[in-house]
Amino acid sequence: MKTSGRGAVMLASVITLFAMLSPSISAQAKGSFDKIVIFAGVSGSFEVDEPSLLGFFSFSDFSERLSWPAAPGEGWLIARYANDQKTGESVPVDHIWIYPPSGNGGPFVYYQGLVDGSSEYDGKLFEGNPEALHQLQSIVEASSQPAPSTSQFALLLVIGLLEICLGMGVSQVLLRRRLGRVKVNSRGHS
């Protein structure tokens, strides 16, 4: 089969265009999630629906597999959820772990795997996205403000009750004084 120079250039252009667009096509095929839940150790768990953190490649581009560092530090488990198209129920899709930067580099993302299935990323460590980690840290710090303890709540309750009693007592004294003046004034006019 003989092709003209013009046909060869057209074929090369189509192949080049397809090669350039294929990463974006695969990224869209992976899609985005509807929410993520961060399990951040003692800080608790946090549900997040920040759009910039819901893409498949938000935490890593998963392009280069890494070896485990000697001590990656404490990681956070991230469960990524999508809404079931039939029921609308939020179902977990996959789990990843994100490890903050340490003396060994990072951040790192460990792709634990799909919940119901497997993928080419399962059980592998990848370079993480520092911006995504920074956003996560900001969310966890903002969300983990300590709640008042039971003793603090009880103290506030006691103070509130004392203020109510004091207010009622002052009201009674003022009311009696006023009624006493009214009685004195009514006796003096008769």
Total domain count for the chain? 3
> In this structure, are strands 76-83 and 108-114 parallel, antiparallel, or unpaired?
unpaired
Q: Do 62 and 124 lie in a common domain?
A: yes
Distance (Å, whole) CA 168 – CA 58:
59
Q: Do 180 and 100 lie in a common domain?
A: no
Q: Do 7 and 50 lie in a common domain?
A: no
Q: What is the pLDDT of residues 10-63, one digit of tens each?
A: 555 545 444 443 333 233 335 789 999 998 877 778 888 889 999 999 999 999
Q: Do 137 and 164 lie in a common domain?
A: no
Q: Do 127 and 174 lie in a common domain?
A: no
Peptide bond into 107 cis (omega under 30): yes
* CA distances for 146 relative to 37, 109, 141, 150, 183, angstroms: 19, 28, 10, 12, 56
Q: Do 3 and 94 lie in a common domain?
A: no
Residue ranges making up the domain that contains 21:
1-30
Q: Do 104 and 171 lie in a common domain?
A: no
pTM: 0.58
Q: Do 139 and 97 lie in a common domain?
A: yes
Q: Do 56 and 26 lie in a common domain?
A: no
E strand or H helix at 171: helix 150-188
Q: Do 39 and 110 lie in a common domain?
A: yes
What totals of helices (H) and strands (E) does the chain contain, helices first? 3, 7
Q: What is the pLDDT of residues 87-104, one digit of tens each?
A: 999 999 999 999 888 776
